[in-house]
Amino acid sequence: MKFGWKIFLLCMGIYVISLTITGVVVTENTYRNLLKKEVERSLEEESNLHSTLVLYLLNNQRIATERIELKNYSKSMVDMMKMDRNYLEIFDENLDLLATNAPEAWFFSREELDVALKGQKNFVMRRDEDKLYLFVSNLLEIDEEKIVLSLVKDITHVAHHRQGQYLFFIRIGLMGLVFVALISWGLSTLLLRPFRELSLTAQNIASGNYHVRAQVNRKDEVGLLAEQFNIMADEIEENISQLKAEGQRQQRFIDNLTHELRTPLTSIIGYSEYLLKAKYNPQIFEKSLNYIYSEGNRMLKLAKTLMDMILVREKPLQIKEHPVMPLLIEVQNIMKVKAKKRGIMLNVEGEDTLVSIDRDLFKVVIINLVDNAINASKKGQKVTLGTQKMSTKTCVFVEDEGNGMEKSEINKVMEPFYRIDKSRARKDGGIGLGLAICYQILEEHDATLEIESEVGIGTRMKMDFHRKVYKNVTN
């Protein structure tokens, strides 16, 4: 069942229950009050009647100057009762009916007469078919002669009033039910409109339309929910975009890895088939075997580099505080032979500072960055290793004056196997994994690698250390 129907039926149920309880309580309370007033009025009328009859009998006794018999006056006393819906019954001491003006005789048990005969005034209500009667009984005694008076009052109108009030509540309730139904349906439709908007937005997102957002402009809890929903949708869209980008990177990685493996394997298989079919020639055999050996070594280097990337990710770091400047000078001494051979100056500048690093892995990063800088530089240009202290972080950089990169290439150079100049990289023996390893090592240090580059001016690789908590740390 839809939530709107639940709200509608709940409102209808609350209305019906409330109206029923109210109708019953009000009607029954009114009925009891009317009965109480009728009883009080009847008791008062019986008292007045009793006093009137006593005066009537005493006056007749004075006029007659002799003792009177009450039963002889019963008919005349009954005839004195001419009130509408009020009747009088007179019984003797044996509770035999002497006189009555009631339209009918009642043959049910009359316990109230026995009580009245004992001198106790009392009343009782009885229902006879569709009518309701109130019987008020009292004893009248003169000169030790007794009769029992029973005032019978037809109070059916009280029961009719009760029924009429119930019918009134039913009619009013039905009219109110229609009104409440219309109001409840309209309010439920209005209140649930934002939820339908959210549901439609969720369906669109589930079907792949991640750019859709809920258009709910409210300041209440529903508006807050819509705002949080849109924030969640933004996060989902961003994560999906990241997943797509990651999927594309992984596909490029697989494509590039396949290409890197296919090239040496094609050479190895080709030269092997040639050696199997060709006649023995020492020079040709030596040349072919050199190609096979060279391509095999390249495949071995590729496998070793990929294994290094796995080890960087899985192996716990040995984090300690180390001075940076001695490490940079050590890398300078390692790379100065290659730099000198290329006619490139290799300088170190900046002041020494302590950085929490895994020294061996960070050394690999610096060597890779310096090697890339040398490969990108021309004779007579300079490569600089240095440090720069800031208020919130320490920056270690490698800067060259080489070819530089386009802005579109800056975000791609971190991807495995990506090479800006593929012909030069193959000639230098590169496989396009150096920066990918550097990025992964710095990521494990919670450091960031920022690339500043302009074509024809050079490239600056900045490594920023600004956090004190590291992943995969062992002491």
Q: CA neighbours within 13 Å on the CB side: how many for 353?
A: 17
Torsion angle of the four alpha carbons 231, 232, 233, 237, in this order, in degrees rounded to the nearest 10: 100
Architecture of the domain delimited by 211-314: Orthogonal Bundle (1.10)
User: What number is the average pLDDT over the span 421-432?
Assistant: 47
pLDDT at 136: 94
Q: Which of 88-97, 241-250, 423-432 has the highest mean pLDDT?
A: 88-97
247, pLDDT greater than 50: yes
424, pLDDT greater than 50: no
Alpha-carbon distance of 91 to 198, in angstroms, equals: 84
Beta-strand pair 382-389/345-349: parallel
Segment (H or E) for 118: none
DSSP 54-95: HHHHHHHHHHHTS---GGGGHHHHHHT---TTEEEEEE-TT-
Distances (CA, A) of 361 to 203, 366, 385, 442, 461: 48, 9, 17, 9, 17
Q: For the chain, what percent of residues have pLDDT higher than 70? A: 84
Alpha-carbon distance of 420 to 422, in angstroms, equals: 6
What pairs with residue 127 in β-bridges? 132
> Which residues belong to CATH 3.30.565.10 in the chain?
316-474
Place of tokens 């009280």: 158
Fold of 316-474: Heat Shock Protein 90 (3.30.565)
Q: How confident is the model at residue 425 (pLDDT cuts 50, 70, 90)?
A: very low
pLDDT digits (tens, 9 = 90+) for 68-112: 677 788 888 888 777 778 899 999 888 888 898 888 878 788 898
Q: Residues 379, 386: contact at Cβ < 8 Å?
A: no
Beta-strand pair 354-357/320-323: antiparallel
Q: How confident is the model at residue 307 (pLDDT cuts 50, 70, 90)?
A: low
> Which residues belong to CATH 1.10.287.130 in the chain?
211-314
Q: How confident is the model at residue 382 (pLDDT cuts 50, 70, 90)?
A: very high
383, pLDDT greater than 90: yes
Fold of 3-162: Beta-Lactamase (3.30.450)
Q: How confident is the model at residue 469 (pLDDT cuts 50, 70, 90)?
A: very low
pLDDT at 315: 63
474, pLDDT greater than 70: no
Segment (H or E) for 322: strand 320-323
pLDDT at 64: 64
pLDDT at 471: 46
Q: How confident is the model at residue 259 (pLDDT cuts 50, 70, 90)?
A: low
* Lookup: tokens for 199: 């549901």
Phi, psi of 210 (to 5 degrees): -75, -10
What pairs with residue 151 in β-bridges? 88, 136
What pairs with residue 148 in β-bridges? 91, 139
